[in-house]
């Protein structure tokens, strides 16, 4: 079992380019697993973790409803945003500057083979990270992701999640609003959930800009602890 994870920070990168790159890494792990099964090759599978920030983009998951995007093509152009239908679970979401996006591309055979546990771990990593900033974040029953003030009229989502898995290999991941322009969420019904607000870490802390490098370091610390993994740069 290989518990080492290759960490790559891609900086700002186009969504489609990043998606293609994820698919390439994902396929590489799957190919190794198939070879192992067919030929008893005994090859080690790799694990990756990508940090990235995307230019303004809306993505719609497999189970999503296109009517949750409230913009037409011309309005998307005016906003400087793009749109993609993609192969993760979940409905529609927004990615953009000021958001930390994490894509773990893991062979869960190296860790544990339980997708439910995997999603709960991703949520827990964000909950523990936000706790370091004095925020009490929680899960919301039946709604993947991380929220504040669940069960009150002020419930708001701070981190969206959507993953794909095949033969216990994962891709896609989470998007944590750190210094995000929340106006872009007004153009969608986020995750298909009406009447729920969206927030960002800088708004919650009442400061202009949160140090994103610091947030990433905290995420990696909690990830390594929960997954009993080590990161390679």
206 is in an annotated binding site: no
pLDDT at residue 12, rounded to an integer? 98
Exactly one of 191, 201, 215, 220 is catalytic; name it: 191
Alpha-carbon gap, residue 87 to 68, rounded angstroms: 17
Backbone CA torsion sign across 216, 217, 220, 222:
negative
137 is in an annotated binding site: no
Name the residue with tokens 């708001």: 156
Q: Which domain holds residue 90?
A: 4-231
56 is in an annotated binding site: no
Output the six-digit token pair for 52.
Answer: 């990235």
229 is in an annotated binding site: no
Provide the CATH number for the domain around residue 66.
3.30.930.10
pLDDT at residue 9, rounded to an integer? 98
DSSP the chain: ---EEEEEEEEE--HHHHHHHHHHHHHHHHHHHHHHHHH---PPPP-EEEEEEPSSEEEE-TT--GGGB---HHHHHHTT-EEEE-SSSSSEEEE-TTEEEEEEE-BGGGT-S-HHHHHHHHHHHHHHHHHTTT--EEEETTEEEEEESTTSTT-EEEEEEEEEEETTEEEEEEEEESS--GGGGGGB-GGG-TT-EE--HHHHHT-S---HHHHHHHHHHHHHHHHT-EEE-
Alpha-carbon gap, residue 58 to 72, rounded angstroms: 12
pLDDT at residue 90, rounded to an integer? 73
Predicted confidence pLDDT, tens digits, the chain (233 residues)? 999 999 999 999 999 999 999 999 999 999 999 999 999 989 999 999 999 999 999 998 887 888 889 999 899 999 999 999 888 877 788 999 999 999 999 999 999 999 999 999 999 999 999 999 999 999 998 888 999 999 998 999 999 998 999 999 999 999 999 999 999 998 987 655 555 789 999 999 999 999 999 999 999 999 999 999 999 98
155 is in an annotated binding site: no
pLDDT at residue 190, rounded to an integer? 61
159 among known catalytic residues: no
If one counts the domains in the chain, the total is: 1
Alpha-carbon gap, residue 47 to 14, rounded angstroms: 22
């Amino acid at each position: 079992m290989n518990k080492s994870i290759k960490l790559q920070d891609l900086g700002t990168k186009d969504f489609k380019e990043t998606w293609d790159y994820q698919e390439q890494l994902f396929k590489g792990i799957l190919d190794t697993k198939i070879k192992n099964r067919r030929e008893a090759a005994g090859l080690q599978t790799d694990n990756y973790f990508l940090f990235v920030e995307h230019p303004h983009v809306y993505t719609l998951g497999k189970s999503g409803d296109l009517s949750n995007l409230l913009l037409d093509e011309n309005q998307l152009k005016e906003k400087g945003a793009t749109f993609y239908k993609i192969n993760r679970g979940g409905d529609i979401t927004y990615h953009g500057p000021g958001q930390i996006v994490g894509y773990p591309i893991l062979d869960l055979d190296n860790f544990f083979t339980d997708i439910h546990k995997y999603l709960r771990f991703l949520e827990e990593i964000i909950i523990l990270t936000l706790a370091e900033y004095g925020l009490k974040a929680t899960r919301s029953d039946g709604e993947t992701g991380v929220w504040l003030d669940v069960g009150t009229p002020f419930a708001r989502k701070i981190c969206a999640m959507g993953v794909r898995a095949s033969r216990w290999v994962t891709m896609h991941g989470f998007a944590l609003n750190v210094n995000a322009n929340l106006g872009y969420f007004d153009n969608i019904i986020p995750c298909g959930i009406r009447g729920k607000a969206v927030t960002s870490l800088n708004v919650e802390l009442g400061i202009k800009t949160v140090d994103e490098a610091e947030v990433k370091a905290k995420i990696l610390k909690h990830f390594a602890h929960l997954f009993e993994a080590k990161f390679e740069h």
